[in-house]
Structure 1
């Protein structure tokens, strides 16, 4: 497979159609939606449409939505996506993990690998990510991936009927030589 990454515990590879139902199950969890920008309810049709778009995005190198799977059993845990702005040589890290897999370091491990992929393989100059300020777990993932706090956008996103503050983290290639 052209775009396949790995870590000590994980395989990151393109989503396949057979992951549609599991994607809908994990992303459709109300608590996942509350902590992220995933729409709720999130249905099998949403997952099917999203997965169907991936091949074109990856071919055009505009986005790399990786299925995050556990090496030991191939279980789908969530996604780690790098959306690429080629004109500005930057990428946005976006992710969610299924609730049963929260707190186990999977998101941080996957984020570190995708950040390295962005800098080393795609030669991006900058990688950034954003999280709802009330989601400290997502902030920790960004920090463990080597991104640093850049600021808070006050009442920036209308999320589930309420304007939420958004924390922005980023990293430029010059600082990417630190070990991850």
Structure 2
């Protein structure tokens, strides 16, 4: 699947993206490793390939849709965004999705993550008939907080000591949402 904005192409992740993902993680590992346990100094091409295999499997099962974010003008890889279906485990019957994103360091701070998330939310609304889209960020992750705000999500709650960061420290989780 392919989604487009004025500046970006969001394309379903394929095995041909492995080197781009690997290089993006390596470039950004110091920042990413603060928030994500999978982002380690020894991250390698095989791990990128395993990530893609899992993303393709989730897409085929309609569990999640992982997209590479690329520049429309140059084709340069900028990051990853994901739209994950939240199953109806409690009988709520609310069409609900979770979004997440990371943008490589060299492209950060230019609004690409927010632009990609807006497009995912639009897709969830118009195509998947979502009534709720949410995201979670660490309360101290100022870049992610800015991305969520620029994407039009609203701060809904802050859960105290709800996550453990890769360094072992306790952190609050902020819940962001878009509702129809």
Alignment TM-score > 0.5, same fold: yes
Give secondary structure in 2 for the equivalent of 1:69.
strand
Is residue 32–residue 99 contact of structure 1 (8 Å, CA) maintained in 2?
no
Q: Which ranges of 4 or more aligned residues in structure 1 deviate by more than 6 Å? A: none
Give secondary structure in 1 for the equivalent of 2:22.
helix
The answer for the alignment partner of 1:33 in structure 2 is: 33
- Aligned equivalents of 2:160, 2:25: Cα separation in 1: 26
Change (3 A) 1:152 1:89: same
Is residue 114–residue 148 contact of structure 2 (8 Å, CA) maintained in 1?
yes
Give secondary structure in 2 for the equivalent of 1:156.
strand
Q: Unaligned 5+ residue runs, structure 2?
A: 89-93
Query: Which of residues 82, 100, 124 is equivalent to 1:94?
Result: 100
Q: Unaligned 5+ residue runs, structure 1?
A: 174-180
1:27-66 mapped onto 2 (5 Å cutoff): 27-28=25-26, 29-34=29-34, 36-37=35-36, 39-41=38-40, 42-66=43-67
Is residue 15–residue 54 contact of structure 1 (8 Å, CA) maintained in 2?
yes
TM-score (norm 2): 0.88
The answer for the alignment partner of 2:73 in structure 1 is: 72
Offset at 1:26? 1.6
Give secondary structure in 2 for the equivalent of 1:52.
helix
The count of aligned residue pairs is 170
Give secondary structure in 2 for the equivalent of 1:107.
helix
The answer for the alignment partner of 1:122 in structure 2 is: 128
Q: Deviations over 1:68-122 (max 9, x none)?
A: 0001111110011011124242111111011111111110110110010111111
Is residue 14–residue 56 contact of structure 2 (8 Å, CA) maintained in 1?
no
User: Is residue 2:173 matched to residue 1:166?
Assistant: yes
- Aligned equivalents of 1:6, 1:38: Cα separation in 2: 30
Q: RMSD value over aligned CA atoms?
A: 1.4
